[in-house]
Copies of this chain bind each other. A is one copy, B any other.
Amino acid sequence: MVKRIGVLTSGGDAPGMNAAIRAVTRVATNIGLEVYGIYDGYRGMVDGKIKQLTRESVSDILDRGGTILGSARLPEFKDIEVRKKAIEQLDKFGIEAVVVIGGDGSYRGALALTDMGVNCIGLPGTIDNDIASTDETIGFSTALNTVVDAMDKLRDTSSSHHRCSVVEVMGNRCGDLALFSGLSSGAEIVITSETGFDESEVLDRLREFDVVKKKNHALVIISEKITDVEIFARKVSQFTGFSGRATILGHVQRGGSPTPGDRVLASRMGEKAVDLLMQGVGGQCVGIQRGEIVGVPIEEALNMPSKSRKDLQNLFDRLV
């Protein structure tokens, strides 16, 4: 049975990653395992940047954003020679299994390592909520809070100036951050890869808000990677009665003290990861599905179709 496990964070960081690291460490040490932190993601695994974690090393991190282990991307990890070096390092430290906290890309590495004999479990750590095998990712709740907080502020100033705020939010082709923040902030229009973006139709609707509905401001939320919001805001000024202003929220969305929701979710998922490893399971990722914490084979997870939000998009339209 496993005696010593590693834990790492990989890809873009997300609030709640520290809560997950803490849960993995506490749950594992409480049943007698040793836990090692692998720093800077897979790169640190290859380079042997590895140190033991104790009960105390994860004190006071539950409420901290970012990740105490650091994170990085390492595309070369696809190369089997690179992975062999990583496994040499794990062997050197006696690490028999690893918990990988990150996004889809990190899962592929976890699966490849499992196939090479080191059981790995993936935890969904990303603000984008773009992982099909879980209803919610660690970090999404906090990022949503941050976005809505910004929207509440923009609404103050927009309504003082008959302005249309055009706001770009993250999501990496997943529209959830845009749609949920639109529902939460009472936005007038939400644009995601699922809704599509028909510029002239959106401008028409804005004109209607201005002329027919007599709104003194409008809030348009657009998922990243769909259009250039600066250019679109200029068109709003040109073709509607509103003065258009673009805001790109940017990396602020990745930071901040995790919400209670993210802290609890990360703790539950961290517990599950350790339990799976103790059962000799590898190559799975943890998700929450319909309220329940589950393990899903990574292969299966990577092939799941992304969730449709037609119902919530429909609700959004009924609330405007």
Given contacts A252-B154, A252-B247, A291-B290, contact A183 B264 (CB under 8 A): yes
Flag if B22 contacts A157 (CB, 8 Å). no
Main secondary structure of the interface of A (DSSP, over half): helix
Question: Which residues of chain B have C-beta atoms less than 8 A from A158's C-beta?
Answer: 251
> What is the 8 Å Cβ interface bit string for chain A, positions 121-157, against chain B (1 contact, 0 not)?
0000000000000010000010011101010111111
A240 is an interface residue with CB less than 8 A from chain B: no
Instruction: Give, as a whole number of angstroms, the nearest-CB distance from A101 to chain B.
Output: 12
B interface footprint on A80-122 (CB within 8 Å = 1, 0 otherwise): 0000000000000000000000000000000000000000000
Tell me the smallest distance from the CB of A275 to a CB of chain B, in Å: 10
Interface positions of A from 253 to 295, Cβ below 8 Å from B: 254-257, 259-261, 263-264, 267-268, 271, 290-292
Instruction: Give chain A interface residues in 140-196, CB to chain B under 8 Å.
Output: 141, 144-146, 148, 150, 152-162, 165, 180-181, 183-186
Q: Contact at A148–B260, with CB atoms within 8 Å?
A: yes
Which stretch of A65-73, A199-207, A220-228 is in the interface?
Answer: A65-73
Q: Which of A20-63 contact B (CB under 8 A)?
A: 22-23, 26-27, 30, 59, 62-63
A residues adjacent to B (C-beta < 8 A): 9, 13, 15, 22-23, 26-27, 30, 59, 62-67, 70-72, 135, 141, 144-146, 148, 150, 152-162, 165, 180-181, 183-186, 216, 245-252, 254-257, 259-261, 263-264, 267-268, 271, 290-292, 312, 315, 318-320
